[in-house]
Amino acid sequence: MKRIPILILLTFFGMNSFAQKMNGYGGELTILGLNADARIWTSKIHGFEVFGGMSSGLEDFKVDDVNAGFKYLHTIQYRRQDRTYFGVVGKWKWVDVFDSNRSTSLPVAGALFGKEWYSKRVHRKSYAIEIGYQYGVKKYQIYSPETHLPIGDDRFEEFSLIVNLRYSFYQLR
């Protein structure tokens, strides 16, 4: 009788252990920036991604914002040539990094839906598109460069639409 719960747990957790596990490294082109990323599919269903890169804001199209983040991905449909997934995104954004008088940082959260296609010639390359929504707003003070006293307020609002184009190289584990 004690063996039945253990057998059920091993069956439940063992289903994904026979799936294809892959590590991917590549780049991601967003609407307002460019990121480098590392994606790990631990099973057919679950995956994680860590990314970081440079971006710009809508007010000034200068590439002076840095972001780093994490994605959790869950597969809806898996086939050998493609994968459809949804996920949640959490990132930290440093605004106006190179201007110490206007610099601030803020958390950004979001959700996305994606489709990834594997190359038919070489299975270890993939193309993906991700679409989603993110939210991050912060009101902060601007300081004078001479006196280092506050001279005004500014508001930064993260662009809410996520549209990512990805290209990755995968390794099987």
Check which CATH number belongs to the domain holding 168 and give it. 2.40.160.20
**pLDDT confidence band for 58 (50 / 70 / 90):** confident
Average pLDDT over residues 112-129: 88
Residue 88 falls inside a structural domain: yes
Domain count, the chain: 1
Predicted structure pTM score: 0.81
C-alpha 125/C-alpha 24 separation (Å) is: 9
Residue 119 falls inside a structural domain: yes
Residue 11 falls inside a structural domain: no
> Would you say residue 162 has pLDDT above 70?
yes
Residue 5 falls inside a structural domain: no
Q: What is the pLDDT of residue 1?
A: 54
148: alpha, beta or left, given left = phi > 0 and alpha = psi -120 to 50? left
Exposure letters 54-67 (e unless 16+ CB within 10 A, then b): ebebeeeeeebbbb
Residue numbers of the domain that contains 166 = 21-172
Residue 9 falls inside a structural domain: no
Q: What is the pLDDT of residue 5?
A: 57
Average pLDDT over residues 7-22: 53
Task: At 141, list the tokens.
Answer: 């003070």
C-alpha 91/C-alpha 98 separation (Å) is: 19
Residue 135 falls inside a structural domain: yes
Mean pLDDT for the chain overall: 86
**pLDDT confidence band for 14 (50 / 70 / 90):** very low
Residue 15 falls inside a structural domain: no
Residue 82 falls inside a structural domain: yes
